[in-house]
Amino acid sequence: MVVVLDKDITAREKDDLRAFLTERGFQVREVVGEDETIFGAVGSGGIDHREVAMQAGVARVVPISKPYKLASREFKRSDSVFPVGSVKVGGNRVVIIGGPCAVESRDHILECADIVAAAGGVILRGGAFKPRTSPYSFQGLGREGLQYLREAGDRYGLAVISEIVSPLQVPEMRDFVDVFQIGARNMQNYELLKTVGAERYPVMLKRGLAATIEEWLMAAEYLLAHGAEDVILCERGIRTFETYTRNSLDISSIPVVKKLSHLPVFVDPSHATGLRDQVIPVGLAAIAAGADGLIVEVHPDPPNAASDGPQSLYPEQFEKLMRDIEALSPVVGREVARLPVRMPGGSAGVATLVSGMPDTATPDSPLTVAFQGARGAYSEIALLRHFDEGAREIVPRSCDRFRQVFEAVLSGEAGCGIIPLENSLMGSIHENYDLLLQYPDIRVTGETHIRIEHSLIGTPDSSLESIRTVISQAPGIEQCRDFLDSHPEWTVQPYYDTAGSVAHVRDAADPTLAAIANARTAEFYGMKILRQGIETNPRNYTRFAILAREDRSTPAADADMATLVFSTPDKPGALYECMRILAERELNLKKLESRPILGQPWRYMFYVDVELPGSETQFAEAFAALEAETHDLRLLGTFKGSRGF
């Protein structure tokens, strides 16, 4: 049964309820959702549901009708999302696992890992123990293969998955793998399922050769009931009368299982088809049908592979598959999971971020904050003002492009990032709104704003009379149009960055060349301010968002703003209905921004900024109501706003 807890349940009431259920023969698992917390109670214990509903702290009781309890949608309505290595599985992500059928040697698996990572895969597969139909076939390298697999994964930043075939192998494998794979032949090896489940590792469970969907889900229930929390279901084709393919891929099982269960569903197109020329189209079909990821065999020299050579992709085929998935994913409302960029000297991780600031064991340690632009850019000024805590050293990290800011935060190279979202005169920075959607593991944890004041900056020996050419970023040029028009003798040229234009003036050492940027940049580069306050409209402000990784951030205690993104059904009044939900719950709309969905012409995602009401219940109710009226609803962050200026 599902026991929905009162929002105001006390810790004592929760403990008493857990004891009440446990004493009656139930296993109890707590699941904390965005809008409610539940106890999942499963087991052979018999009890009248009304008796449970009368316990203190219980909001309601929902019986689970399916024979698979913990795996069912009745137990958990939202998709399960969980980390595997440095990426997450489930939700809107498409996760690609690649590698050989079997680890053949150290050099071999290192080469395979290089191929997978370079093409965009995020998890490395490789068998160390191979269950083969023939006792005379290659059976794998055993522990030696596991060591090589782990080394290759660590070198290229890939999590690793390998098949386990016996309960006795658990102690040998647990130190080398991130995910246990249970193959089709062992789907109903219940002793193996119990043992692996008790390890509480992520597990990939392949569908049996002739298993029904219910039997497959019941096998997953064994894993969940014995302690596993993170289970991936993998459809790899079933055995039928057809002989043109190795197996028959039951692609209809993907939407069926995703309706019945909250568990992520992967597809193995290599084993489903058995022929490499069929792997790419079948893999793409699986993504289109809703699969959360693929597990694909790729080998540097398939004709000489120790096993499954005919179904292993060549490296260039794997690269094409990844490019095709990148193109297809936006069409079906998904994003391809990416590895964090592995930067030289990058730290292995950063500590928890609270309100955009890390809460570390050494609070005086420097905080690296990534921004776009050269040193002295407006973004750097904004970050120095926002993080001006006095007690902590701030280390600005310059990035050439906005995407690199996201990558630096995702990789842990930077504890935080800062990006401009909106200018009061020029409008939204659309690229950054799109990037917020493409990086689902990054959250907005704060915002700040600064006034944009432009100056004309030249070399120390220049003057207004000596200037012949002016450079700056295009928005900076437009914001100073009146001043520039008053000097028709000047040639105006766009440059990639405002602060970078000042650096170029310094390097050129040309007294006829000037740049438009903020006055602080002149001091930073040792240049001369020729004229301050040249912007046409002095009411020129830019709003910046503070970024942090989702798993290393918590909402600010005083958060009063939230940013949401969603798409709407194609029907009259769909957006109006969303606005009505917000209005009825007194959520003040501060911004509404639409962006086209890549690969879906004339369809749009809507970005919404709302003021949070005093009651958390109002926002939770609004979010739940929006879920029923929208597609792909996502909370991008809650934070303390800074718009009251």
Pick the catalytic residue from 544, 619, 623, 639: 544
Q: What is the DSSP string of 562-593?
A: EEEEEE--SSTTHHHHHHHHHHHTT--EEEEE
Quote the CA–CA distance of 534 and 479 in Å, as a whole number: 9
* Residue where the block lists tokens 């970050």: 383
458-486 b/e (C-beta count within 10 Å ≥ 16 → b): bbeebeeeebeebbbbebbbebbeebbee
C-alpha span between 413 and 527 (Å, rounded): 31
Which residues share a beta bridge with 181?
163, 204
- What are 459-465's contacts with CB under 8 Å, separation 24+? 459/505, 459/506, 459/509, 459/510, 459/511, 459/513, 459/527, 459/528, 460/526, 460/527, 460/528, 461/511, 461/528, 462/511, 462/512, 462/513, 462/514, 462/528, 462/530, 463/511, 463/530, 464/530, 464/531
Torsion of CA 508, 512, 516, 517, to 10 degrees: 50
Per DSSP, the three-state class of 392 is coil
Contact status, residue 61 vs residue 259, Cβ threshold 8 Å: no
Q: What is the number of other CB atoms lying within 10 angstroms of the CB of residue 131?
A: 15
Annotated catalytic residue 544: yes
Catalytic member of 542, 563, 568, 638? 542
Strand partners, 37: 32
Rounded-to-integer distance, Cα 640 and Cα 347, Å: 28
Chain position carrying tokens 């029904």 = 212
Q: How far apart are the first and last CA of the chain?
A: 51
Helices 276-288 & 315-328 angle (0-180, nearest 10): 20
Candidates 81, 155, 158, 162; CA nearest to 120 is 158
Instruction: Select from 132, 134, 122, 123 the least CA-distant residue to 102.
Output: 132
Which structure tokens are listed for 108? 């071999």
**Annotated catalytic residue 542:** yes
Catalytic residues: 542, 544
